[in-house]
Amino acid sequence: MKESKRRIEFNPGHRQEMEKFLNPGENTISVKQLLTQTTTPEDIELAIFGVHQELGNAAMMIDVFEFLIEDLVITIEALSAENIEKAVSHLESFVHILTRGTDNADAIIEFLKAIEARNIQALQNDEPSILTAKTKEYILIMTEDYTLIEKILSEKGDEYTRVYKDALMKVNQYLRDNK
């Protein structure tokens, strides 16, 4: 496996479960570092539990993203001094949700694939599985969450991009016109 530069970011609420793996004061960890630190089935289960929660968050954020888009469209229709901050905030949220959600999801899936490859290698060497029953449950849920993310983005990604670009153009125009 080529060396990855991807990092997994944990919400403060999930950081506690992952403290064993994270450096003090940090909310992110590289895929490589997490793989290095997960050597036992118990460590793998703990790490998979933590990343499963983050992937679930990403799926939920992207699933409800439609509401942000709808509100952005409504806000942009009648830009004014009263709602320009809301429009800018929506644009920032748009970028944050899509970027963080997809980057985190991709890093988590990279980690998951590496763990699954490690498990296959163990089984081929007639060693016991490194995946506990609970870890396997988390992996099934993660697969569903990632499939949801991919489905939404493949169905709506172009529309979301178009709405974002249109809204950004209108906000920029409003800001230029109202200096």
Q: What mean pLDDT is reported for the chain?
A: 91
pTM: 0.85
Condensed to tens digits (0 to 9), the pLDDT of residues 73-96 reads: 999 998 999 999 999 999 999 998
Question: In this prediction, what percent of the chain has a pLDDT beyond 90?
Answer: 66
Work out whether strand 7-9 and strand 28-30 pair parallel, antiparallel, or are unpaired: antiparallel
125-to-5, 44, 90, 117, 128 alpha-carbon distances in Å: 29, 19, 52, 12, 9
Mean pLDDT, range 37-48, rounded to an integer: 94
Domain boundaries along the sequence of the chain: 7-177
Contact, 142 vs 55, CB < 8 A?
Answer: yes
**Predicted confidence band of residue 163 (pLDDT cuts 50, 70, 90):** very high
The pLDDT value given to residue 3: 59
Contact, 101 vs 61, CB < 8 A?
Answer: yes
Mean pLDDT, range 95-110, rounded to an integer: 90
Mean pLDDT, range 147-166, rounded to an integer: 91
Domain 7-177 part of CATH 1.20.58: yes
**Predicted confidence band of residue 171 (pLDDT cuts 50, 70, 90):** very high
The pLDDT value given to residue 25: 81
The C-alpha torsion from 31 through 33 and 34 to 35, rounded to 10°, is 80
CA-angle at 53, arms to 43 and 12, nearest 5°: 95
Mean pLDDT, range 149-163, rounded to an integer: 91
3-class DSSP state for residue 7? strand
